[in-house]
Amino acid sequence: MFQIIRSKFDLKNVIREIKNANSRIGLVPTMGALHQGHLKLVKLAVDNYDVTIVTIFVNPIQFNNKEDLNSYPKTEKADVELLQTIGCNYVFIPEANEIYKNEPILNLDFGYLEHILEGKYRLGHFNGVGLIVMKLFGLIEPDGAFFGQKDLQQFRVISALVTDFELPIKLHLVPIIREQSGLAMSSRNRNLSVSDLEIASTIYANLKWAKGQLNNGVAIDIVTEEVLHKFMLTEGIGVEYFEIVDAQTLRLKSKVNAGDRLALCAAATVAGIRLIDNLIIDL
């Protein structure tokens, strides 16, 4: 059974039927232009829940940059075909005016998470993410929801929603799926040329290099400085941040102890396209 749903009304009817049948729902929210990273999330949902619902919605209110929103790739036909072949049951593809019939009054503030990493560079981004995810949770009432480690801070933000609002939803964090070059798969990669993609692969190379340095006992501030320098020496890439943080809280670490779990997080721009990546390591 596979069905495309475009209205909240139809979605609610489908959800009622699923709930009446006592089936458990796995939700995978996406912005489309699907790649193997997305499909990994969908496959896990299919394996772990009775009914899998994928959503495709380029959420305008989470974009702090108009150009980024306008250039965001849209490949609906191919997306639907992919979803159909891997066992997804429903795909919800609403228009923006269907989702935002009423302008949201709420403004979500995620506390310290607003002032670090992505929060610092994308003002209002997590409010947009939080609102759309809460809407999807309210509309779909999933038992479980799948998110990628690539957007690690997004996962922490959504975990905060689930914890703080006591939502009965199990969150699943899925490891990053990468290209052969190591570049984290991303819909935005579609806007990069072959040579841009090669330049972009230095992000992961630098994260791996940093991991090696930390494993060898090099101090955090030295590794951070050297990685920023390596980025600066690479032509065609502009680094926005490289930070070594606690993998759970995402707070900056100044020194490490054996047994620490760290996240090495980077954001960089190649050919005007902003890319993020991270690597979680155990010391």
Residues whose CB falls within 8 Å of the CB of residue 159, separated by 6 or more in sequence, listed in order: 171
The site map against ligand AMP for 134-153 (x = CB under 6 A) is -------------xx-xx--
**Is 50 exposed, middle or buried, given 0-12, 13-18 or 19+ CB atoms closer than 10 A?**
middle
- Please identify which residue in 5, 41, 247, 275 interacts with ligand AMP, judged by CB under 6 A: 41
Q: Which of 18, 184, 239, 250 binds ligand AMP (CB under 6 A)?
A: 184
The CB-of-155 to ligand AMP minimum distance in angstroms stands at 7
In the Cβ-directed half-sphere of 266, how many Cα atoms lie within 13 Å? Answer: 32
Q: How far is the CB of 174 from ligand AMP (least distance, A)?
A: 5
Question: CB-wise, 143 or 226, nearer to ligand AMP?
Answer: 143
**Interacting residue with ligand AMP among 52, 89, 186, 206 (CB under 6 A):** 186
Q: How far is the CB of 28 from ligand AMP (least distance, A)?
A: 7
Q: In the sheet where 273-282 sits, what is the strand order?
A: 237-246, 261-270, 273-282
The verdict on whether 35 is a catalytic residue reads no
Residue type, 10: D
Contact call for residue 61 and ligand AMP (CB under 6 A): no
Nearest to 29 by CA among 100, 169, 138, 132: 132
Complex with ligand AMP: residue 147 or 231, whichever CB lies closer:
147
Structure-token match 């006591």, residue found: 166
Which of 186, 140, 157, 154 minimizes the C-alpha distance to 35?
A: 186
Among 37, 94, 119, 128, binds ligand AMP (CB under 6 A): 37
Residue ranges with strand state E in 85-176: 90-92, 144-148, 170-174
- Active-site residue, selected from the candidate residues 38, 115, 125, 172: 38
Based on the shown chain and the rule CB under 6 A, indicate whether residue 30 belongs to the binding site for ligand AMP. Answer: yes
Burial of 107 (0-12, 13-18, 19+ CB in 10 A): exposed
- Strand ranges in 57-138 using DSSP code E only, listed in sequence order: 90-92
Is residue 174 within the footprint of ligand AMP (CB under 6 A)? yes
Among 45, 99, 185, 223, binds ligand AMP (CB under 6 A): 185
Q: Are 36 and 163 in contact (CB under 8 A)?
A: no
CA–CA–CA angle 243, 272, 234 (5° rounding): 55
- Sole window of 42-50, 82-90, 179-187, 257-265 interacting with ligand AMP (rule: CB under 6 A): 179-187
Q: Distance between CA atoms of 170 and 144, rounded to whole angstroms?
A: 4
| Contact region with ligand AMP (CB under 6 A), list: 171-179, 206-214, 232-240, 265-273 | 171-179
- Closest approach, Cβ 173 to ligand AMP, in A, equals 9
Binding site for ligand AMP (CB under 6 A): 30-31, 37-38, 40-41, 147-148, 150-151, 174, 176-177, 184-187
Residues acting as catalytic residues: 38
